[in-house]
């Protein structure tokens, strides 16, 4: 189809969809009318039965934990897929050291940037850990905290340069973190079955409401998610940074330490 014909076809189809869409939208419940029965029900049950203040975590890790297990593995699939595709083009040979282009000048980081990153990096990591640990009390949790932790490592790249960053980050460790976190999450599902309970049934002591140690099994699952997300995202950063190299350029191992 020519671009004009294509747009015409699309336009006619969208026009034909308008009456149906309008009727559907007109019959939807009004904005903010009621909370659906399912949500109402869960809100009533979860604080009492799971001692958890953050309802989102209660839903994610307990009531609808299987969905989150699926989402976790969706992330794992996306990251593994990205790694497969990027490495497939660059070549499998994976070095644990930064490579450098001979003759390319290495611009040293300014001291101000270095200082800022050295100060902000640990603080950001602390904040990430805080978000992870308080999953059952305040908004946040393993997914969010894991991403903050992973972006903390990027500050190391900003402050210490690529060579310094690669010295701290090892691809195999990241694989181990990502896979290990996912194993931990899955085992949280399977282990309760050994006691005769259902898959992912919350069999651990539930702790006290609004305490960091509340929610029982949710805390372990949350830790698994944080580990996997942190490892996975850092792996992604590593692959994307490696991608900035010329594919076929001459390279030699060297200290790109500035």
Partner 1 sequence: MIASLLASWPPAVLVPLPVAIPLLVCAALLATAHLLPGRTPDILATITALVVSGLSAIIAVQAGDGSVDYWFGGWQPRDGIALGIGFSVDAASGWIGAFIGFLYACTFVFAWGFFARTHGHFHILMLLFLAAMIGFCFTRDLFNLFVWFEVMSVAAFALTAYHLARSSIIGAINFTVVNSLAGFLMLGGIGLLYARAETLDFAGIAQGVAHAGRDPVVAGGFCLVAAALMIKGATVPFQFWLADAHAVAPSPVSVIFSGAMVSLGIFGLAKLSAVVFDGSAQIREAIPVLMIGLGAISAVLGGWMALLQRHLKRLLAFSTISHAGIMLIGIGTLSAQGSAGLLVYVVGHGLVKGGLFMIAGILLATRASIDEIALRGLGRGIAPAGVAMAVAGLLLAGLPVGLLDTGANLLHGSLTAAHPYALAATIAGGALTGAAVLRAAGRIFLGLGEDPGDEAGAPSEAEREKADRPLWLMLAPCCAMLALDAALPASWIHGMAPGAVTAFSHHALRGMVSEGPAWPAWASVAGALGLAAFALFRHRLPRLVVGPIRATQSAPTRALEALHSGLIGDYVAWLAVGLALMAGVLAYA
Residues 6 or more apart from 193 whose CB is under 8 A from it? Answer: 199
| Extended beta strands in the chain, E state | 99-100, 252-253
Q: Are 185 and 69 in contact (CB under 8 A)?
A: yes
Asked if 249 interacts with partner 1 (CB under 8 A), we say no
Asked if 4 interacts with partner 1 (CB under 8 A), we say: no
From 101, 106, 105, 104, select the one nearest 249 (Cα to Cα).
101
Q: Residue 130, exposed/middle/buried by CB under 10 A (0-12, 13-18, 19+)? A: middle
Is 179 a binder of partner 1 (CB under 8 A)?
Answer: yes
Rounded to the nearest whole angstrom, what is the least distance from the CB of residue 130 to partner 1 in the complex?
26
Q: Which of residues 246 and 252 has its CB atom nearest to partner 1 in the complex?
A: 246
Task: Tell me whether residue 146 or residue 159 sits nearer to partner 1 (CB atom).
Answer: 146
Q: Is 209 in the site for partner 1 (CB under 8 A)?
A: no
Distance of CA 123 to the CA centre of its chain: 19
- Tokens 């747009």 sit on residue: 7
For partner 1, which residue of 56, 115, 193, 258 counts as binding (CB under 8 A)?
193
Find, among 103, 116, 200, 102, the residue nearest to 156 by Cα.
116
Site map (CB under 8 A) of partner 1, residues 23-62, x = contact: xx-xxxx------xxx--xx--x----------------x
Contact flag: residue 126 with partner 1 (CB under 8 A)? no
Per DSSP, 60 falls in state: I
Residues of the shown chain interacting with partner 1 in the complex, contacts defined by CB under 8 A: 1, 3, 6-7, 9-10, 12-14, 16-17, 19-21, 23-24, 26-29, 36-38, 41-42, 45, 62-67, 69-71, 73-74, 76-78, 80-85, 88-89, 92, 172, 175-176, 178-180, 182-183, 185-187, 189-190, 193, 197-202
């Amino acid at each position: 189809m020519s671009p004009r014909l294509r747009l015409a076809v699309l336009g006619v189809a969208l026009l034909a969809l308008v009456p149906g869409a309008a009727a559907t939208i007109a019959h939807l419940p009004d904005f903010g009318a009621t909370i659906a029965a399912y949500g109402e029900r869960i809100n009533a049950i979860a604080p009492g039965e799971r001692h958890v203040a953050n309802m989102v975590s209660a839903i994610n890790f307990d009531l609808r934990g299987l969905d989150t297990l699926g989402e976790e593995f969706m992330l794992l699939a996306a990251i593994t897929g990205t790694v497969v595709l990027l490495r497939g083009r660059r070549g499998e040979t994976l070095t644990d050291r930064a490579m450098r282009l001979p003759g390319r000048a290495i611009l040293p980081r300014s001291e101000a940037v270095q200082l800022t990153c050295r100060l902000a990096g640990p603080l950001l990591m602390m904040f990430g850990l805080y978000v992870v640990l308080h999953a059952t009390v305040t908004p946040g949790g393993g997914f969010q905290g894991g991403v903050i932790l992973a972006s903390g490592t990027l500050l190391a790249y900003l402050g210490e340069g690529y060579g310094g960053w690669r010295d701290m980050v090892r691809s195999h460790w990241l694989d181990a973190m990502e896979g290990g976190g996912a194993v931990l999450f899955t085992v949280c599902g399977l282990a309760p079955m050994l006691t005769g309970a259902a898959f992912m049934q919350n069999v651990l002591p539930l702790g006290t409401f609004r305490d960091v140690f509340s929610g029982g099994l949710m805390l372990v699952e949350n830790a698994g998610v944080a580990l996997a997300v942190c490892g996975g995202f850092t792996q992604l950063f590593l692959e994307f940074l490696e991608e900035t190299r010329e594919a076929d350029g001459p390279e030699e191992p060297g200290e790109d330490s500035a």
